[in-house]
Amino acid sequence: MTDRKNAVAYYDTADVWIAPTLRLLTDTVSTYIGGRNIRCYGENNGFIKLMPQGGIEAFSQYDVYDLTYEWSPAGESTKDIDTLEAGSYFVEISDKLLCRDDSTFVLTQPDTLVSHFVIIDSVTCAGAGRLAVVATGGTTDYAFEWTPGPLMACLVFITTH
């Protein structure tokens, strides 16, 4: 190749590889009976596990642990987080190529388990009566245990004098 003044220019070829877009995928989010992410009200047994793809991680000498993770409000800088309470968690991931992605996760919990007694038949002079327990919140398919007594929501009892 030459220009108007017959100056010779040299050229070469180069392969250019563009990293695929960095994408934040979810590996696992805690899920308990009833579809909630926290087992019981007020507990901290939730977890989020990520599986990012693309970005610098696509190069063979890098993996998901070479990415930067910023969790809020947890303040963690790890790929996966655990011991979470119910609430919203935001994560942003980035790599050395300045590729970024982010996501928000909302972990839910069951309502507080509440129970109360209902007197069906008051205790008579003979000492017999019936009592029931009503439960709300928590996760349904409740199990009841009376001490001593059967596993049911209603108890027939006899008092002794």
Q: How large a percentage of the chain has pLDDT more than 90? A: 41
**pLDDT for residue 15 is more than 70:** yes
User: Is the whole model's pTM more than 0.85, yes or no?
Assistant: no
User: What are the strands of the beta sheet with 114-121, ordered from one edge?
Assistant: 114-121, 128-136, 154-158
The pLDDT of residue 65 is 86
90 confidence band (pLDDT: 50, 70, 90): very high
**Which residue, chain included where needed, has tokens 């507080």?**
112
3-state SS class at 58: helix
pLDDT in tens, 27-83: 999 999 889 999 999 999 999 999 999 888 878 888 888 899 999 998 999 999 999
The pLDDT of residue 141 is 81
pLDDT in tens, 139-160: 888 887 777 665 555 555 544 4
Domains and CATH numbers, the chain: 26-107 (2.60.40), 114-158 (no CATH)
87 confidence band (pLDDT: 50, 70, 90): very high
91 burial (CB, 10 Å; 0-12 / 13-18 / 19+) is buried
Q: How large a percentage of the chain has pLDDT more than 70? A: 84
Q: What are phi and psi of 74, to 5 degrees?
A: -65, -25
The pLDDT of residue 118 is 81
- Residue 156 or residue 22, greater confidence: 22
The pLDDT of residue 108 is 96
